[in-house]
Amino acid sequence: MSLLIQKPVRLLQNLREIRALGADGPSRRRLAGNMFQANLKRVHHGWSSVANRVLGTAPVNVQLHFASDMPFCYRPGTTDLLVLEQVFLDGEYQVEPIAPESIEYIVDLGSNIGVTAMYWAQRYPNARMALVEPDPDNFKLLQRNTASFQDRCILLNVAVSDKRGETTFFRSEREYGHSILKGDDSVSEIQVKTLTVSDVLSEAGFPRVDLFKMDIEGGESIVMPTIRTWPYAPKYLIAELHPPYDFAAFTKHCQSVGLRATQSPNEGFRCNLPFAARASGTT
């Protein structure tokens, strides 16, 4: 095993940034130590195993400091804190300019352990959320991490597909990488229930969708072609795309329901992921 850890200066900066999210001293110390573990999983699996044995991997609870303190439960030695980094430090789902008060109904496909839900709860204080996560272990943490605003949430422990029923769900060595499509890093498989987007909207009972987020690790290639069957198109749609499904395919499917797709900050909206907004004159 090589003893070299890549980019140590960037790693230390990353630890400082994640530490600052803690609401108190114990939370900040725990976040920094566990983010060190997460970074090792990202860059050096040999040292990652050593750190996990020393620092432990049992779920821990911390308090995060936002507009108000928020409890957060995660698994050290996993990719959980990397998701926290992506959402709250890298601003992966930050879209400008959208007035916070204009977002009242959110559908989140691929909610993982609830980090994006926590972000929505802070950024869009009037929003109700339908949160969809098929993996049972992730779902347990999703329940815990949304408990402080559970009155605003509908949680569905299912996968979204093009038909209702059951499917094989492939679990990845990256806890955010589980998918209904088998990937190169799949390590196990389970059976999960599936719903269509129309089913999810029916379960939620929303009169419309203001913001629709999709991060389902390749499943968008199955779900996006069904967009014309949804009872209504969202006002805004933000999606993480995975090859071979690309931005051209995303654009085509969005256009079919009057959404204009963009991945450029110079086209009216600034977003770090492929994004679509309802074209003027459409409903």
Domain limits, the chain: 1-76, 91-278
Beta-sheet pairing, 159-160 with 270-271: unpaired
pLDDT at res. 4: 39
- Quickly list H helices, 59-196: 80-84, 115-123, 136-145
Beta-carbon contacts of residue 248 (< 8 Å; ≥ 6 apart): none
pTM of the model: 0.89
| Sheet containing strand 159-160, strands side by side | 159-160, 186-195, 165-172
Q: Is the dihedral of CA 258, 264, 268, 270 positive or negative?
A: positive
Mind listing the pLDDT tens digit for each residue in 131-164?
A: 999 999 999 999 999 999 999 999 999 999 999 9
Mind listing the pLDDT tens digit for each residue in 182-234?
A: 767 777 888 999 999 999 999 999 999 999 999 998 899 999 999 999 999 99
Asked if residue 5 has pLDDT above 50, the reply is no
Share of the chain above pLDDT 70, in %: 87
State phi, psi for 102 to the nearest 5 degrees: -85, -10
Q: Which CATH superfamily is domain 91-278 in?
A: Vaccinia Virus protein VP39 (3.40.50.150)
